[in-house]
Amino acid sequence: MTTISPPSETTEIVSYDPATGEEIGRVPAATEEEVRRAVARAREAQKAWGTQSFVERGRVVWRAREIVLDEMDVIATLISREAGKPLAEALAMELVPTLDLMRYFARATARLLKPEKLDLGQYNLL
């Protein structure tokens, strides 16, 4: 059985730019109980998401894409600093492919998620 260890004396996670060693920022470390609550909330959100129509799911993905586009410079800069990679690489290898996939799935959600009958040949009788 895997257990989650309690946080050490440090209650923050520090992020450093691997290219420069400069501290980028700090975030609070979650406790075991906070993680459990977050997982429970995620499970509840999944149930609600499952009740949404395919069209509505596509709209949500499209809206998320718009938010990423609006914040692209900030996100690319953060990726660049946290990964120690050039800004152009963060854009070309991280953000642009993500935005392309978001556009694809937002537009194709209804087609991809609709029920589909598969011919299983002789195994249809099992």
Domain annotation covers residue 52: yes
Does residue 60 fall inside a structural domain? yes
Question: Quick check: 2 pLDDT over 80?
Answer: no
Find the domain containing 23 and state its range: 13-114
Dig out the tokens for 47 from the structure.
């149930």
pLDDT value of residue 118? 81
Chain centroid to Cα 12, Å, comes to 22
* Residue 71 domain-assigned (yes or no): yes
The pLDDT of residue 9:
55
pLDDT digits (tens, 9 = 90+) for 89-120: 999 999 999 999 999 999 998 888 888 888 88
Q: Is there a domain that residue 119 lies in?
A: no
Q: Domain for residue 89, yes or no?
A: yes
- C-alpha 5/C-alpha 7 separation (Å) is 6
7-65 per-position pLDDT tens digit: 555 589 999 999 899 999 999 999 999 999 999 999 999 999 999 999 999 999 999 99
pTM for the model: 0.74
29 three-class SS: coil
81 burial via Cβ count (<10 Å: 0-12, 13-18, 19+): buried
Residue 32 belongs to some domain of the structure: yes
**For residue 88, what pLDDT is reported?**
97
Please state the domain count of the chain.
1
Q: Kindly report the CATH number assigned to the domain that includes residue 22.
A: 3.40.605.10
d(CA 72, CA 47): 30
CA distance 81 to 99: 20
DSSP string, 54-102: HHHHHHHHHHHHHHHHHTHHHHHHHHHHHHT--HHHHIIIIIHHHHHHH
